[in-house]
Structure 1
Amino acid sequence: MSSFFVAGGNLAPDAPCYVLRQADDALLATLQAREFSYVLDTRQVGKSSLMVRAAAQLRRDKVRVAILDLTGIGQNVSPEQWYSGLLAQLGAALGLEDALEDFADDHPQLGPAQRFFGAIREVALPAASAPLALFVDEIDAVRSLPFPTDEFFAGVRAFYNRRADDGELKRLTICLLGSATPDSLVRDARVTPFNIGQRIVPTDFTLLEARPLAEGFGDGGMHAIERILYWTDGHPYLTQRLCQAVAEVGHCDNGSVDRAVARLFFHESAREEETNLSFVQRRVLEGGEDVTALLELYRRARRKEIQEEPGSPLGAILKLSGIVRSVRGQLRVRNRIYARVFDETWINRSIPDGERRRQRAAFLRGLLPTATVAVAGLVATGFLTVRSLHSEQETTRSLDAIQRREQQWKAALEALANERANHSSADAALRQLAEDRLRSTQEENTELRKRLGISPETDLRLR
């Protein structure tokens, strides 16, 4: 029954494993009301499948539908080529290839963006009296283009604002989908972020919503779904992928689910080989200039749910990576799989080397000079004190104080070594530095004993 489940890619509108969520109803209602909308979230949470299902229902409702996939146009293109690619996809979807091409040829004086939006208004909309729904998928692809696409979003905003005065535009609705934040789509900081229309959030599956997936297992299916959601917390891709693996084994008990989780996600190379884990890791580690601050924020969210700060760029990157989500204003790790895979060891190993060296240097600047000054000061004090003593008892007390300080110094260095024991070869050099420092201190104390004329018997008795 593993073929029942589909992990990765778009689900067909009639796929038996499709899980209906609140987002399905919200998006369809928004489109039927001719409202503009956007579905911007992390990858592999069902955005495109949500779009395909809504588009199928709109077609049944006699709405004309065009889906523009920005990844199909390419990246090494000029503005002219990019907008021509959009126009070609629009023409193919609506059967208006020649009419749209003729409009572009008849208006060479217009810029590429003006021709594209002009063609929608003057050709695509008047071609039929039925409403037109335009989906623009993989909208985050604009961030990789060699030119700014602010004009595209300005054109969408202009359509949105003009609907009050233009009857034709009231028959048009546009929905943008992709893995981005509204403010990241517009490059010019002086331009208002793209946030018009209704935001649709594709939430993770609840246990009630995921009940149809139990059919893929037969008897005991609901028990398997409960255990699967224990690990995935309803993440769409992880849930479907784990359902596939468990169905292949043919057993629905907790042990079978747990072993499938370990086999898929917990082996050493899973972060590089498993597509979803690879995306999450790459998005976090390449998500911004201050990777250390990003990882420290994730560390805090992992240890304890923390208050989400509205407008925080770091919080936005973490949510867009999918590693955390917002729950009642709190940031929390999205599921138990992520919590196990992206653990404290991964955080420590992922902190950039320069930052780790800076942290170690700061630690040493605070510990080593303090301990060195304390030992050196005590050695000098002990030397002057012992010279003035005339009895073995007083000499013994002074030397005992020196040795206690020496033991404290050793303990501090051992604690430092233990604290850093799990780090890289750079930390091995740090431990070597600590050992050399301790050896030097011990040699100074030995030399002091010789100058003071303390006998080996007295030293041995004191030890």
Structure 2
Amino acid sequence: MRYQVGGSLKYDDSTYIVRQADEQLYTGLKTGDFCYVFDSHQTGKSSLLHRTIHRLEKENHVCVYLSLALLGTNQIIPIQWYKGIIFSLFHKLNLTKRVNFESWWEQQSELEPVQRLYQFIEQVFLKEIKNNRIFIFIDNISSLLSLNFPVDDFFIWIRYCYEQQAHNPSFQCLGFALFGVASPSNLIADRHRTPFNIGQAIKLCDFQLHEAMPLLEGLEEVFSQPQVILQHIIHWTRGQPFLTQKLCQLVVQVVLESYKETITIPKGAEGYWVEQLVRSRIIQHWEFQDEPEHLRTIRNRLLFDEHKAGKLLNIYQRVLQVEELRNRNAIDNLIPADNSEEQTELLLSGLVENYNGYLRVKNSIYRNVFTPQWVSRQLENLPFSW
């Protein structure tokens, strides 16, 4: 059995973990909701996206996948960007035999770019695709943040499509799902015009032990007590999808390299065995061992903007201090999640999570990599005083 470390899992991959988000996204789209899945890197967004597409296509619905990362970034101008969106929809729905795209595009030459998108949906898209439900999956939504023009109109177009369902039956066949490392407040400033106040946020929770049972198959090949090993793996990763798959792969790889057969770890020593492997193969010299990249991605997101880095590190430093004091039963007041810009950025790094309304470090691996000493060094290296 092969564990998937990084990248998107195939829809039928045996290591795919079904979570509550799977049913929430599927049901939300089927009932006509605008859905969005915003979370940090390597939490299973792409795997969820492609599995949901497969599930809907099996029911003969039409699904269109658009990756905004492929449409250009800071050098592109609005007319080029919107043309890329429209042409992608045109091409993916195989309309080339029915409509001449360049001719249609020229006929709209006097319209603003976003108005051409409105016209395309109403004049071409919904008229040519009949008797089917159409779901548009838009991935890498965070790419919008690098554009040098506002994208509020793009989100207003999505909202318009949903509002039209009450007036124009043709729009009732159209649904949207957005995916990315972003938050609604990052993407659109005017909250009165945003579609996110009418949409359904799909939360990607980390794996619970009972959900992670499909991962046992690979462990059963090399351990006589696979469930105990998996329990200790989840203890270290707290179910973070990338780390859980990676640690499963790592323990199997180490056993096969060292023993080449199924091993039995003495009862009660399983936790120590897993801990030693985590410390030697993941935590120690992590910047060199971090392949495929995961921990460095978190570090880079924290430190990328020197003007924000100090604020993010200070919040994280307080989370560490509070957790340490709580471990010593010194205090009992955690740091409330307040939806501030800084906390939102820290949450999107994946390093911390909102747990029952308070911030906490997401798992033990992160806590042992991004230690108080590491934070202090980074703060000292910043060109600003914090």
| Cα drift, residue 114 of structure 1 | 1.8
- Structure 1 match to 2:106: 105
On the 8 A contact 1:40/1:181 being kept in 2, the answer is yes
1:336-357 residue CA offsets vs partner (Å, 9 max, x unmatched): 000000000111011154677x
State which of 5, 9, 15 in structure 2 corresponds to 1:11: 9
Q: Structure 1 pair 193/348, CA: closer, same or farther in 2 (3 Å)?
A: farther
On the 8 A contact 2:156/2:193 being kept in 1, the answer is no
- Structure 2 match to 1:58: 56
Q: Structure 1 pair 303/160, CA: closer, same or farther in 2 (3 Å)?
A: same
For 1:325 and 1:303, how far apart are their aligned partners in 2? 16
- Structure 2 match to 1:41: 39
For 2:273 and 2:143, how far apart are their aligned partners in 1? 39
For 1:300 and 1:103, how far apart are their aligned partners in 2? 57
Alignment pair present for 1:292 and 2:310: yes
On the 8 A contact 1:291/1:352 being kept in 2, the answer is no
For 2:363 and 2:60, how far apart are their aligned partners in 1? 40
Residues 23-172 of structure 1: matches in 2 within 5 Å?
Answer: 23-75=21-73, 76-97=75-96, 99=99, 101=101, 102-127=103-128, 128-172=130-174
For 1:345 and 1:16, how far apart are their aligned partners in 2? 40
Alignment pair present for 1:231 and 2:248: no
| Cα drift, residue 79 of structure 1 | 1.6
State which of 215, 221, 226 in structure 2 corresponds to 1:221: 226
For 2:371 and 2:317, how far apart are their aligned partners in 1? 8
Alignment pair present for 1:267 and 2:275: no
Q: Structure 1 pair 331/287, CA: closer, same or farther in 2 (3 Å)?
A: farther
**What amino acid is the match of 1:21?**
R
On the 8 A contact 1:34/1:173 being kept in 2, the answer is yes
For 1:215 and 1:354, how far apart are their aligned partners in 2? 46
For 1:178 and 1:100, how far apart are their aligned partners in 2? 33
- Structure 1 match to 2:331: none
For 1:304 and 1:345, how far apart are their aligned partners in 2? 15
On the 8 A contact 2:317/2:375 being kept in 1, the answer is yes
For 1:93 and 1:193, how far apart are their aligned partners in 2? 27
On the 8 A contact 2:43/2:242 being kept in 1, the answer is yes
TM normalised by structure 2 equals 0.86
Residues 187-202 of structure 1: matches in 2 within 5 Å?
Answer: 188=189, 192-195=193-196, 196-202=198-204
- Structure 2 match to 1:456: none
For 2:36 and 2:174, how far apart are their aligned partners in 1? 15
> What is the SS of the residue equivalent to 1:68?
strand
- Structure 2 match to 1:346: 374
For 1:70 and 1:226, how far apart are their aligned partners in 2? 38
1:287-319 residue CA offsets vs partner (Å, 9 max, x unmatched): 573422321211121233624243311211111
> What is the SS of the residue equivalent to 1:217?
helix
| Cα drift, residue 164 of structure 1 | 1.3
| Cα drift, residue 216 of structure 1 | 1.4
For 2:56 and 2:239, how far apart are their aligned partners in 1? 27
State which of 241, 246, 251 in structure 2 corresponds to 1:241: 246
Q: Which runs of 4+ in 1 moved over 6 A?
A: none
1:239-293 residue CA offsets vs partner (Å, 9 max, x unmatched): 1111111111235744543343224421235279441111111111235734223
On the 8 A contact 1:271/1:277 being kept in 2, the answer is no
- Structure 1 match to 2:326: none
For 1:318 and 1:354, how far apart are their aligned partners in 2? 17
Unpaired runs of 5+ residues, structure 1, are 360-463
1:15-64 residue CA offsets vs partner (Å, 9 max, x unmatched): 00000000001000001112111111111000111011111011111111
- Structure 2 match to 1:438: none
**What amino acid is the match of 1:92?**
H
Which has the bigger relative contact order, CA under 8 A and spacing at least 6? 2
Q: Structure 1 pair 354/52, CA: closer, same or farther in 2 (3 Å)?
A: closer
| Cα drift, residue 109 of structure 1 | 1.5
- Structure 2 match to 1:315: 343
| Cα drift, residue 139 of structure 1 | 0.3
Unpaired runs of 5+ residues, structure 2, are 256-262, 324-333
| Greater helix content | 1
Of 55-64 and 88-97, the range deviating more from structure 2? 88-97
- Structure 2 match to 1:455: none
| Cα drift, residue 194 of structure 1 | 4.8
Larger gyration radius, structure 1 or structure 2: 1
